[in-house]
Amino acid sequence: MSETTPAMPVTATAAVGSPPPPLAPETKPGYVEKPASLWSDAWYDLRRRPLFIMSSILIAVLVVMALFPSLFTSINPMDATTCQLSTARQPPSAAHWFGKDNLGCDVYARTIYGARISIIVGITTTIVTAMVGGLLGLIAGFAGGATDSVMSRVTEIFFAIPSILGALLILAVFRTGNVWTVMLALAVLAWPMTFRIMRAAVITAKSQDYVVAARALGAGSGRLMFRHILPNAVTPVIVVATINLGMFISAEAALSFLGVGIQSPDISWGVMISDARPRFLEAAGPLLFPAAFLSVTVLAFIMLGDAVRDALDPKLR
């Protein structure tokens, strides 16, 4: 009876040679069996990781900052009257923690208000690429054959475009850089990565025995794809998505810095870095503070991605 595990004393030892043994299910009144899925195991594991705790606290603060910037500063930098040209490039002081920029605006308030666009661009682009790339990858991996070949070749065309160059091109077509066009440009160039990861994961999951068993039961393509294959193939996509989120935020900053992304008077960290660049040697603060926020945000999302990957991979647990 080597099957017996401490958790289940009753079932394992059932002797099945002769007529069915009367099974007395172990029912303690009020005892409710708790389902433990891989997800709840992963959650249990995550809560104990310092990496996860640190990155989630950082991300929570950043999200609150993006939603309610007025909680962090009383100055509204969108209001031009708060800027005084005469105080341009003032060093940090008690009233203006991060000092003032080239136009005499408060750098701290602008950095806080800049979080919104960075976070919106990061999260929206991540969701769109994960959905589009994930769905197409699921279809290509499941269908295989000619469908897969055609879809994969089309994806490779997108892969061939250098990403910053491609984004410059797309934004040049639109002529105006705003949140929407930046997100579109990033999403168009980023979905092929998700597609490839999803396709590979689906091809692995497709040949698993439990998928064969479901086919033997007569399950249709929809059930096989969404009930059996997708839940078992989605993990790498989630992990890559969290890592990509940080990359999108820095890509938005890069595009804004190059002058094709978000345009003043909209505030994003990229715009601030770009604006501060010409006078960097005279006043480093207006460039360094938003750059530090940018780095910490990207780092927080990448750390979160790392923690999620480790928690979802039972072999690393």
Partner 1 sequence: MAATSEPILEVRDLVKHFALTQGILVRRQIGAIKAVDGVSFDLRPGETLGIVGESGCGKSTLAKLLMALERPTSGSVKINGRDMAKARGRELKSMRRNVQMVMQDPYTSLNPRMTVGDIIGEPYEIHPEVAPKGMRRRKVQDLLELVGLNPDHINRYPHQFSGGQRQRIGIARGLALQPQIIICDEPVSALDVSIQAQVINLLERLQNELNLAYIFIAHDLSVVRHISDRVAVMYLGKLVELGGDVEIYDRPSHPYTQALLSAVPVPNPDGRERRERIILQGDPPSPANPPTGCRFRTRCWKAQDICAEQEPPLEVRPATDHRVACHFAEVHDVVQAH
Nearest distance in Å: CB 239, partner 1: 16
Nearest distance in Å: CB 223, partner 1: 7
Of 29-37, 56-64, 114-122, 175-183, which part binds partner 1 (CB under 8 A)? 29-37
CB 133 within 8 A of CB 193: yes
Nearest distance in Å: CB 137, partner 1: 18
Contact between 44 and partner 1 per CB under 8 A = no
Nearest distance in Å: CB 200, partner 1: 18
Residue with tokens 């104990």: 48
Nearest distance in Å: CB 288, partner 1: 46
Contact between 33 and partner 1 per CB under 8 A = yes
Residues 234-293 that bind partner 1 (CB under 8 A): none
- Return the structure tokens found at 296: 């910490």
Nearest distance in Å: CB 119, partner 1: 31
**Residue from 5, 74, 86, 176 binding partner 1 (CB under 8 A):** 5
For the chain, give me the number of helices (H) and strands (E)? 11, 0
Burial of 304 (0-12, 13-18, 19+ CB in 10 A): buried
Contact between 316 and partner 1 per CB under 8 A = no
Closer by beta carbon to partner 1, 165 or else 212: 212
Contact between 29 and partner 1 per CB under 8 A = no
Residues 7-26 that bind partner 1 (CB under 8 A): 7-8, 10-12, 14-21, 23, 25-26
Closer by beta carbon to partner 1, 234 or else 243: 234
CB 137 within 8 A of CB 154: no
The distance of Cα 231 from the centroid of its chain, to the nearest Å, equals: 18
**Residue from 30, 36, 160, 222 binding partner 1 (CB under 8 A):** 36
Length of the chain: 317
Nearest distance in Å: CB 311, partner 1: 15
Closer by beta carbon to partner 1, 12 or else 71: 12
3-state helix, strand, coil split of the chain in percent (to 5) is 70, 0, 30
Phi and psi torsions of 100, nearest 5°: -125, 155
CB 102 within 8 A of CB 276: yes
Closer by beta carbon to partner 1, 15 or else 157: 15
How far is the CA of 9 from the CAs of 5, 16, 195, 229, in angstroms?
6, 16, 46, 33
Closer by beta carbon to partner 1, 26 or else 79: 26
Closer by beta carbon to partner 1, 11 or else 84: 11
Contact between 159 and partner 1 per CB under 8 A = no
Reduce the secondary structure of 36-102 to three states and give it as a string. CCHHHHHHHHHCCCHHHHHHHHHHHHHHHHHHCHHHCCCCCCCCHHHCCHHHCCCCCCCCCCCCECC
Residue with tokens 């962090």: 72
Residues 205-244 that bind partner 1 (CB under 8 A): 208-210, 212-220, 223, 227-228, 231-232
Contact between 162 and partner 1 per CB under 8 A = no
Distance CA 49, CA 41 (A): 13
Sites of contact with partner 1 (CB under 8 A): 1-3, 5, 7-8, 10-12, 14-21, 23, 25-27, 33-38, 208-210, 212-220, 223, 227-228, 231-232
